């Protein structure tokens, strides 16, 4: 789905998040697009409601649970935070960026029996805005661009998330964000090149010593998202496989 929802990638696909339409496309400037989408809505549909029909590649209801962590968790979550993210740019499997997202992220982190090792489950619910003229996210048909009659953005709900084992982490003596409750809204200010000057790594708000680009320290055991574009199609982008596209 994203690169820094945290950066999430695979041979099957990658995904990053932001929000832009024609005024931003013209100069690729990292602007705040809230004025263009004043009616954006959070997708409140339960995660995994459509998972059954694609259970072989997309099973968020089962995977987005601490019971699936390869290192067993102990006790209650030590972090249970809610964050709203704006203007996060979404990357396509063929490279480039195809959409911008607004979403609410639920961050839950548990201790494990191993010192310095934690399991996190991070879930997303929000809306995406696909940008006409960009190559479709699955790149099938190859190089075919997203197209609408009036070049208006295609918008729809998306949901998903990831489960990750964090190793070698040292909790901050004083966390930069609250550990339980709502944290500040983050505007990533992304543009269509994937430049996001407002991006904040949530892990760094709670831990030191973690390189989220290093799979030995930040091992994403499962990740996946589903985008519903209505008549424009549905796209599943998951560590276990992809399905469909948005056109």
> 180-182 and 73-91 as β-strands: parallel, antiparallel, unpaired?
parallel
Please tell me the predicted confidence (pLDDT) of residue 54. 55
Asked whether the bond before 141 is cis by omega within 30 degrees of 0, the reply is yes
What is the number of other CB atoms lying within 10 angstroms of the CB of residue 183?
A: 19
Please, which residues have CB within 8 angstroms of residue 232's CB and are 6 or more apart in sequence? Answer: 130, 146, 154, 156, 246, 247
Classify 40 as helix, strand or coil. Answer: coil
Cβ atoms < 10 Å from Cβ of 239: 21
Taking the whole predicted model, whether its pTM rises above 0.95 is answered as no
Distance CA 103, CA 159 (A): 9
Per-residue model confidence (pLDDT) at position 58: 92
**Which residues fall within 8 angstroms of residue 223, CB to CB, at 6 or more apart?**
1, 8, 160, 161, 162, 163, 238, 239
pLDDT at residue number 153: 82
Enter the tokens of residue 31. Answer: 């602007």
> Could you list the pLDDT tens digit for every one of the 247 residues in the chain?
554 343 333 333 333 333 333 333 323 333 333 333 333 333 333 333 343 445 467 999 999 999 999 999 999 999 999 999 999 999 999 899 999 999 999 999 999 999 999 999 999 999 999 999 999 999 999 999 998 777 788 999 999 999 999 999 999 999 999 999 999 999 999 999 999 999 999 999 999 999 999 999 999 999 999 999 999 999 999 999 999 999 9
Distance CA 222, CA 164 (A): 7
Per-residue pLDDT, 56: 67
- Cα separation, 85 vs 89, whole angstroms: 11
Q: Which tokens in the block code for residue 115?
A: 């010192």
Q: How far apart are CA 138 and CA 242, in angstroms?
A: 8
């Amino acid at each position: 789905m994203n690169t820094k929802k945290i950066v999430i990638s695979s041979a099957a696909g990658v995904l990053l998040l932001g929000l832009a339409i024609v005024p931003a496309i013209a100069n690729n400037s990292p602007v705040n697009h809230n004025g263009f989408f004043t009616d954006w809505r959070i997708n409140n549909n339960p995660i995994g409601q459509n998972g059954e029909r694609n259970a072989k590649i997309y099973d968020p209801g089962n995977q987005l649970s601490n019971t699936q962590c390869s290192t067993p968790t102990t006790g209650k979550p030590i972090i249970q935070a809610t964050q709203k993210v704006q203007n996060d740019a979404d990357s396509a499997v063929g490279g480039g960026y195809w959409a911008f997202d607004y979403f609410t992220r639920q961050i839950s982190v548990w201790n494990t029996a191993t010192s310095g090792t934690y399991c996190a489950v991070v879930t997303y619910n929000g809306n995406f805005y696909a940008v006409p003229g960009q190559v479709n996210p699955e790149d099938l048909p190859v190089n075919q661009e997203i197209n609408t009659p009036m070049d208006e953005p295609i918008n729809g709900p998306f949901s998903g998330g990831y489960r990750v084992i964090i190793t070698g982490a040292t909790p901050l003596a004083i966390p930069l964000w609250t550990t339980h409750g709502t944290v500040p809204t983050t505007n990533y200010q992304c543009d269509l090149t994937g430049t996001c000057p407002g991006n904040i790594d949530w892990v760094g708000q709670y831990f030191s010593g973690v390189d989220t680009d290093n799979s030995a320290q930040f091992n994403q055991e499962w990740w996946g998202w589903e985008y519903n574009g209505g008549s424009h199609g549905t796209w599943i982008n998951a560590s276990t496989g992809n399905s469909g596209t948005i056109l």
